[in-house]
């Protein structure tokens, strides 16, 4: 694909056309509702925020039947959200990450009420009592910090209000789906309000067992979530919001099938897509030659407490945001393990692990409407993890009966100071400059363990140390200009940088002792053990306009990224043992164009539309040090995606009926496995969702039906180094009853 040198010209033409439409619009009713966001850490209208972003309201999520983050990508330009076996896989504008271990970091930050959630396994939970979800595309290193080179997803819960209200919803659908949720908000006093929200989500497995056993398979759910919150007014100038939440999920960890379900010649490393029914795609037919699978299972538990404190000091407001969160996960799964094109084994894995994280941020933001506005803050983050991956059944390749990776502890610490200043040069022109300095420290004490039994025995077993410590730091900055072309149209430009912390692979370096000594005979070179921070510089030009008397909107963004040391991960056999390795990909380039908006054609007809163009490729990368991938596409980076939606409201004798349809057409894209020098090409594909809702006038209740993936098209969400693929969700549908008291 050629580089799109005409993007800025096209951007200017689109802005001019929008302004012309605004000038000639006829007076009509029903403007598009404005949305207040906090993408820049202060409240502003989405249409006046100089960031490429999408906002999904809690009401829109409920109407669409979405209850987990992995379902949201259909509504988001240039975003993939995949429910991988090891957690939520976030890809924004072709930038992703596949290291979900306790030493890895994402490229896009996932946040819950502004709190960074470090582990992907803890990100794809139920969307509980959501006010809105803000998705920021592009690096956000100044205000949000490290690991935001791709962007930020911030799930914002509804806070307690001074209104007595309650909600209840129940849902039933195919695959045995049954869901329920409830909310109760109680104003206890003038200064105190309480809110409680609960949700339950259960459904059977999407997968079919073709292995000849009676075991059930994965992609099922049995989730429960609860959140309690309290908001207190502390005098005329201060407030405190407290939240406590807990979630659990009992499910099956066997959530994958062989890549042969999608590709011919996958075993030989030359995969070619072929057509098949959804049932064939979702059937696990792999019969291990070396073992009998066990019944897979998994249990996860997460909980957290958090506080938001706000104190208006007059010229400035003081903010504090802090939380303690815990996550535990245990599972048994049956892996597909491709050793050579002619040999694929079955492997049983037992995992147990947990993570604890604490974060604190203190920030001061100026008040008033003067020529200068500023904010500055300090950030502190600590994470401690422990885990043990224990594998069996690898004796045919010369490994002992048990092969394990115990680690305790894995530590991550991050400290940062940041500030951003905006100068209102004129009534229409504003200039912004921001700077953040971050220090990161990671360490791990663990081992690669070769065992005769499930518990390590020093008399019969031996271990290779996995022990490393790395410290990195980075200054990230942002420069921006935005200008009001008209009361409802503004343009912006930003030049910014992003940073993702460096890390380490399995092994150790001779002469370094970190909990355990590193024997010289098994040591690795620093160049192999450590990988460098991922950095980028990004230029973005954008425009946002409301025209046709604010009944139509157009958002446009053209961007260009230059990546250095892009981090890519996969499994490889190193020194006779399977290891999970991350390397730096040299240089990568990303450039593209995004266009999206809404049209309120009449009081009863609403359209949404979107178009993205993307060229994301490696500029310089040799996965094995020999073969060049220069010019090849990055993962999940289709050259273009077109989306469209339509909703119609009909009035019928005291009743309201709403019908909607949303379609998305994606060009082909790649999923790469650099450690095997393989790229899987996913062909162009379309998906369609539909909704239908009915509510009597003035009734507190409504009934809705929804259907996702009407065409039942199944594509792999992920493919790993062993040939295991996690399929996307099949066609699902359901009926929902909602009741609201206020």
Identify the pLDDT of residue 29: 54
Question: What is the CB-side half-sphere exposure of residue 226 using CA atoms within 13 A?
Answer: 4
Residue with tokens 């005979």: 521
Q: Are 121 and 87 a contacting pair, CB within 8 Å?
A: yes
Distance from CA of residue 5 to its chain's centroid?
A: 30
Q: Would you list the DSSP string of 352-396?
A: EEEEEEEEEEEEEEE-SSSSEEEEEEEEEEEEEEEEEEEEE--GG
Report the candidate in 538, 533, 664, 646 with the shortest Cα–Cα distance to residue 598. Answer: 646
Mean pLDDT of 352-373: 95
pTM of the model: 0.92
CB 257: neighbour CB atoms within 10 A? 28
Residue 119, SS3 per DSSP: coil
Identify the pLDDT of residue 713: 95
Residue with tokens 């469209």: 644
Confidence band of 88 (pLDDT split at 50, 70, 90): confident
- For residue 537, pLDDT over 80 is answered with yes
- For residue 18, pLDDT over 50 is answered with no
Identify the pLDDT of residue 121: 84
Identify the pLDDT of residue 265: 92
Q: Tokens standing for 178?
A: 């049954």
**H or E stretch at 12:** helix 7-24
- For residue 24, pLDDT over 70 is answered with no
Identify the pLDDT of residue 590: 95
| Domains detected in the chain | 7-165+356-397+405-741 (2.40.170.20)
Mean pLDDT of 409-433: 96
The DSSP bridge pattern shows strands 151-157 and 343-366 to be: unpaired
| Mean pLDDT for all residues in the chain | 90
CB 45: neighbour CB atoms within 10 A? 12
Mean pLDDT of 457-473: 90
Q: Are 166 and 123 a contacting pair, CB within 8 Å?
A: no
Between 708 and 106, residue with greater pLDDT: 708
Identify the pLDDT of residue 658: 96
Identify the pLDDT of residue 268: 86
- For residue 134, pLDDT over 70 is answered with yes
Q: Tokens standing for 410?
A: 């894995």
Considering 77-91, 248-262, 623-637, the range whose residues carry the highest mean pLDDT is: 248-262
Confidence band of 650 (pLDDT split at 50, 70, 90): very high
- For residue 7, pLDDT over 50 is answered with no
Q: Would you list the DSSP string of 326-358?
A: EEEEEEEEEEEEEEETTEEEEEEEEEEEEEEEE
Residues 6+ positions from 52 with CB-CB distance below 8 Å: 136, 137, 138, 540, 542, 555, 557, 559, 594
d(CA 141, CA 473) in angstroms, rounded, equals 13
**H or E stretch at 61:** helix 58-64
- For residue 27, pLDDT over 50 is answered with no
d(CA 709, CA 206) in angstroms, rounded, equals 13
Confidence band of 510 (pLDDT split at 50, 70, 90): confident
d(CA 535, CA 539) in angstroms, rounded, equals 14
69-85 pLDDT per residue, tens? 888 888 899 998 888 77
Mean pLDDT of 140-159: 91
- For residue 16, pLDDT over 60 is answered with no
d(CA 695, CA 487) in angstroms, rounded, equals 37
Identify the pLDDT of residue 708: 96
What percentage of residues in the chain have a pLDDT greater than 70?
95
Q: Are 107 and 120 a contacting pair, CB within 8 Å?
A: no
587-630 pLDDT per residue, tens? 899 999 999 999 999 999 999 999 999 999 999 988 887 889 99
First and final CA of the chain: distance in angstroms? 55
160-216 pLDDT per residue, tens? 999 999 999 999 999 999 999 999 999 999 999 999 999 999 999 999 999 999 999
Identify the pLDDT of residue 675: 81
Residue with tokens 């500030």: 419
Identify the pLDDT of residue 576: 65
- For residue 23, pLDDT over 50 is answered with no
712-739 pLDDT per residue, tens? 999 999 998 889 999 999 999 999 999 9
Identify the pLDDT of residue 96: 85
């Amino acid at each position: 694909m050629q580089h799109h040198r005409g993007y800025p010209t096209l951007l200017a033409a689109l802005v001019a056309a929008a302004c012309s439409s605004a000038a000639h619009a006829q007076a009509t009713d029903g403007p598009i509702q404005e949305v207040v966001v906090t993408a820049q850490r202060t409240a502003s209208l989405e249409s006046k925020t100089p960031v490429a972003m999408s906002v999904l309201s809690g009401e829109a999520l409920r109407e669409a039947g979405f209850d987990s983050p992995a379902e949201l990508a259909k509504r988001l330009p240039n975003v993939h959200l995949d429910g991988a076996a090891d957690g939520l896989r976030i890809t924004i504008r072709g930038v992703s990450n596949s290291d979900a271990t306790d030493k890895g970091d994402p490229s896009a930050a996932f946040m819950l009420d502004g709190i960074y959630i470090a582990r992907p396994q803890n990100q794809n939970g139920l969307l509980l009592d959501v006010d809105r979800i803000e998705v920021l595309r592009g690096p956000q290193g100044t205000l949000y910090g490290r690991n935001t080179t791709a962007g930020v997803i911030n799930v914002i819960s509804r806070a307690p209000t001074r209104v007595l209200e309650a909600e209840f919803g129940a849902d039933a659908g195919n695959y045995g789906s049954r869901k329920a949720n409830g909310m109760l908000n109680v104003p206890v006093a003038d200064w105190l309000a309480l809110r409680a929200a609960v949700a339950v989500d259960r459904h059977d497995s999407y997968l079919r067992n073709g292995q000849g056993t009676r075991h059930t398979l994965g992609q099922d759910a049995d989730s429960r979530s609860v959140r309690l919150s309290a908001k207190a007014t502390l005098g005329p100038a201060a407030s405190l919001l407290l939240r406590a939440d807990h979630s659990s999920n009992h499910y099956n960890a066997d959530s994958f099938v062989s890549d042969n379900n999608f590709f011919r010649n996958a075993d030989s490393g030359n995969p070619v897509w072929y057509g098949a029914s959804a049932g064939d795609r979702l059937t696990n037919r792999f019969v291990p030659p070396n073992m009998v699978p066990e019944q897979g299972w998994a249990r996860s538990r997460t909980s957290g407490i958090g506080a938001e404190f706000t104190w208006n000091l007059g010229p400035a407001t003081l903010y504090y945001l802090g939380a303690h969160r815990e996550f535990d996960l245990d599972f048994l799964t049956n892996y597909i393990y491709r050793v050579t094109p002619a040999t694929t084994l079955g492997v049983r894995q037992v995992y147990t692990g947990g993570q604890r994280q604490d974060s604190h941020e203190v920030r001061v933001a100026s008040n008033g409407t003067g020529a200068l506005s500023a904010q500055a803050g300090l950030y502190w983050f600590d994470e401690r993890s422990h885990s043990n991956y224990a594998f069996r059944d690898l004796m045919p390749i010369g490994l002992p009966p048990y092969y394990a990776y115990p680690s305790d502890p894995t530590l991550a610490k991050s400290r940062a100071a940041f500030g951003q200043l905006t100068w209102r040069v004129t009534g229409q022109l504003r200039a912004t400059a921001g700077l953040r300095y971050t220090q990161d420290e990671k360490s791990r004490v663990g081992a690669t363990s070769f065992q005769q039994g499930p518990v390590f025995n020093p008399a019969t077993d031996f271990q290779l140390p996995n022990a490393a410590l790395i410290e990195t730091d980075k200054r990230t900055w942002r420069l921006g200009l935005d200008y009001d072309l008209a009361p409802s149209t503004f343009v912006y430009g930003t030049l910014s940088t992003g940073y993702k912390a460096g890390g380490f692979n399995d092994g150790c370096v001779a002469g370094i002792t970190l909990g355990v000594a590193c024997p010289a005979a098994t040591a690795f070179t620093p160049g192999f053990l450590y990988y460098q921070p991922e950095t980028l510089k990004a230029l973005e030009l954008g425009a946002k306009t409301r025209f046709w008397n604010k009944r139509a909107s157009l958002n446009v963004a053209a961007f260009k990224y230059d990546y250095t040391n892009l981090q890519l991960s996969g499994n490889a056999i190193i020194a006779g043992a399977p290891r999970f390795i991350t390397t730096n990909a040299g240089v990568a380039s990303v450039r593209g164009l995004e266009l999206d908006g809404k049209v309120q054609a009449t009081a009863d007809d609403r359209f949404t539309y979107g178009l993205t163009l993307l060229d994301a490729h490696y500029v310089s990368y040799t996965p094995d040090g020999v073969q060049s991938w220069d010019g090849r596409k990055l993962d999940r980076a289709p050259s273009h995606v077109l989306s469209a939606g339509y909703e119609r409201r009909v009035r019928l004798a005291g009743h309201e009926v709403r019908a909607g349809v949303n379609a998305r057409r994606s060009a082909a894209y790649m999923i790469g496995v650099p450690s095997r020098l393989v790229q899987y090409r996913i062909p162009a594909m379309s998906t369609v969702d539909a909704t239908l809702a009915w509510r009597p006038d003035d009734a507190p209740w409504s009934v809705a039906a929804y259907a996702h993936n009407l065409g039942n098209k199944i594509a792999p969400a992920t493919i790993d180094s062993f040939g295991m693929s996690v399929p996307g969700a099949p066609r699902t549908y359901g009926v929902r009853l909602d009741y609201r008291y206020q």
